[in-house]
Structure 1
């Protein structure tokens, strides 16, 4: 007999998908695409992404929050997720500020709490010509400071120093991009994707970090210079056609990656990725002035290779159920009687994420 508390959501479950009708990445359209993952469409690739979480040592009530892949107009189409769990409740939700899609799971006292979530997503390479527009309210939001990403004080002063007497937003954005690429470096010792603590980076003068640090620095400086900007948190799902180090397939449990967007007229949202430029320099052991790196650097202002999928652009959010986070939701997040397990430590928080390309 089927356990009455076991839930399985399919893509047609409109009653659960409806709260996610607002887009998180472009916030224009629906959160899920009806034909996501349909193979054979010219220029598109389809992937099945599976997340498995096991909270074997939870001992009592526990909660879990999983970031959900959502659609983004023009370059990413995600189906509604399907999941299975013996939890007391499992539901799709979104945070009210950024419309980030989240699977929220609650257990009251399972012996071995676990959940598996699957999604189909299709992607195509993105460039600035795809013309993703934004509302006035959305642009206002992406100019605001957050607790972990301020735009005043040393952030504002640094941004103004970088842009100088430039007045065109695109010129200002390119100056900030070049400054970030030239002055930061990828620090392999930093755990995960980093913390994105912009003020600390500027106050200490230590510009080493990972993608969340480098992207957040670019976003904060852009906002301080009057350019709407945002991080986009996601995960790599396939090997790269450019450099080996910026791709991952199969087991992608540690393949999370943060990118950035800026809003320019008349283009709309423009994709940017300064962090991967610094990753290529470190992991491919190439100097910044190497011709291949310089070509990649130029392309990374205005293009994303879509061997990666985006979850959300949320900063400093309150998760469903009232759990606060002063950073971002790119990894699975849990709360047990022991507190919040370290999502970067498999010994205390066992989960796996896998990607499989769908070709037929």
Structure 2
């Protein structure tokens, strides 16, 4: 079933003009300290950081019974530890999980008589920078069934038709998993672009993007396209949905968040399983974000001195100023009367008038903040 948001997204894409990326900018030398001067971006693993992340929701104008779902960090890997979560509310609350992906969520239900519904959720997590050593090979650790699972199609990530055709053309001549992933990553950076007008993080409707030729969007569109292309040629891949928590240590404003106010800091990344390297970090969407927003003018080349370090590093690395919620697609919310979600990365609420707009935190009335802790 197509959600209302997805229908609007498809109409938006089909009505927009097809945009072609401009030619690469000529080589220019910038003065030291200029916003366009060459920078460094090289995350390296090794130091864990601890954060408390708090989401506060106040339903200002409840109508009938109100139901609320908040994503809870549920990823535990060598780059994130999801620790305890505590909450308070004047409704009936309990922790639930998506039955297919194990995505955890706090569910709250408020009676029609409750005039001021609220929930406050605080989760503690630890995260660190992530990077791959391309020179060092490791034993393949994942079970074949797990890898097959992460090549399956979803409602928004088909792996046949135009998706597979596009991927096969992009990887032509490549032999290894790494070469295939690199060509698909480069294809995303070269052919797509960030569109600020897209609500939230986008919808991730990759078939419509390819069929219309409109390859604009945000992280849930562009990284989803990368994941779908990878899956279509047999590379296990997945989106990782989360939240930026703190400024970037490398000075990139677009690659960090303001801990005092994180509503709107949602960001999804990608992982690809590569033979002899395991699950590897990827984020071509953030390359396009730096190209579009980091400098006063839209940068059209990945070789630009501002973009080049990010373009290189985000194929295999990411910075630990971000936390993951889950890796879930096609999420059916328990007790919901609405349609499935493409992903669970925002607070979700429903009342007698329907589903509230998660992309309008001031109207929905929620705040998200983070506090870094010293251990």
Q: 1:103 aligns with which of 102, 106, 116?
A: 106
Aligned counterparts, 1:7-86, within 5 A: 43-86=47-90
Structure 1 residue 347: Cα displacement: 4.6
DSSP-derived class of the 1:193 partner:
coil
**1:357 aligned residue:** 372
1:301 matches 2:315:
yes
1:258-297 CA-partner distances (Å, limit 9, x unpaired): 1000001111110100011011111112442213411211
**1:19 aligned residue:** none
Aligned counterparts, 1:292-331, within 5 A: 292-322=306-336, 323-331=338-346
Unaligned runs of at least 5 residues, structure 1: 1-41
DSSP-derived class of the 2:247 partner:
coil
Unaligned runs of at least 5 residues, structure 2: 1-45
Moved more, 322-331 or 105-114: 322-331
Taking only aligned residues, the RMSD between alpha carbons, in angstroms, comes to 1.7
**1:22 aligned residue:** none
**1:157 aligned residue:** 165
**Contact in 2 for aligned 1:194/1:209 (Cα 8 Å):** yes
Instruction: Call closer, same or farther: CA 1:44–1:118 in 2, change over 3 Å.
Output: same
1:237-278 CA-partner distances (Å, limit 9, x unpaired): 010022111101221111000100000111111010001101
Instruction: Output the CA distance in 2 between the equivalents of 1:167 and 1:208.
Output: 29
Structure 1 residue 141: Cα displacement: 1.6
DSSP-derived class of the 1:180 partner:
helix
DSSP-derived class of the 1:251 partner:
coil
DSSP-derived class of the 2:361 partner:
coil
Q: 2:256 aligns with which of 211, 235, 247?
A: 247
Q: RCO greater where, 1 or 2, for CA within 8 Å and sep 6 or more? A: 2
1:136 matches 2:144:
yes
**2:34 aligned residue:** none
**Contact in 1 for aligned 2:189/2:302 (Cα 8 Å):** no
Instruction: Output the CA distance in 1 between the equivalents of 2:100 and 2:49.
Output: 30
Instruction: Call closer, same or farther: CA 1:296–1:347 in 2, change over 3 Å.
Output: closer
Structure 1 residue 331: Cα displacement: 0.3
Moved more, 130-139 or 276-285: 130-139
Instruction: Output the CA distance in 1 between the equivalents of 2:143 and 2:353.
Output: 42
Instruction: Output the CA distance in 2 between the equivalents of 1:118 and 1:303.
Output: 28
Aligned residues: 318
Q: 1:280 aligns with which of 290, 306, 321?
A: 290
1:82-101 CA-partner distances (Å, limit 9, x unpaired): 000011x2111111211111
Q: 2:359 aligns with which of 338, 344, 349?
A: 344
Instruction: Output the CA distance in 2 between the equivalents of 1:139 and 1:96.
Output: 19
Q: 1:126 aligns with which of 125, 130, 139?
A: 130
1:132-164 CA-partner distances (Å, limit 9, x unpaired): 943333212211111111111110110111111
Instruction: Call closer, same or farther: CA 1:347–1:291 in 2, change over 3 Å.
Output: closer
DSSP-derived class of the 1:57 partner:
coil
1:115 matches 2:119:
yes
**Contact in 2 for aligned 1:147/1:326 (Cα 8 Å):** no
DSSP-derived class of the 2:223 partner:
helix
**1:192 aligned residue:** 200
Structure 1 residue 166: Cα displacement: 2.2
Instruction: Call closer, same or farther: CA 1:127–1:133 in 2, change over 3 Å.
Output: farther
Instruction: Call closer, same or farther: CA 1:134–1:104 in 2, change over 3 Å.
Output: farther
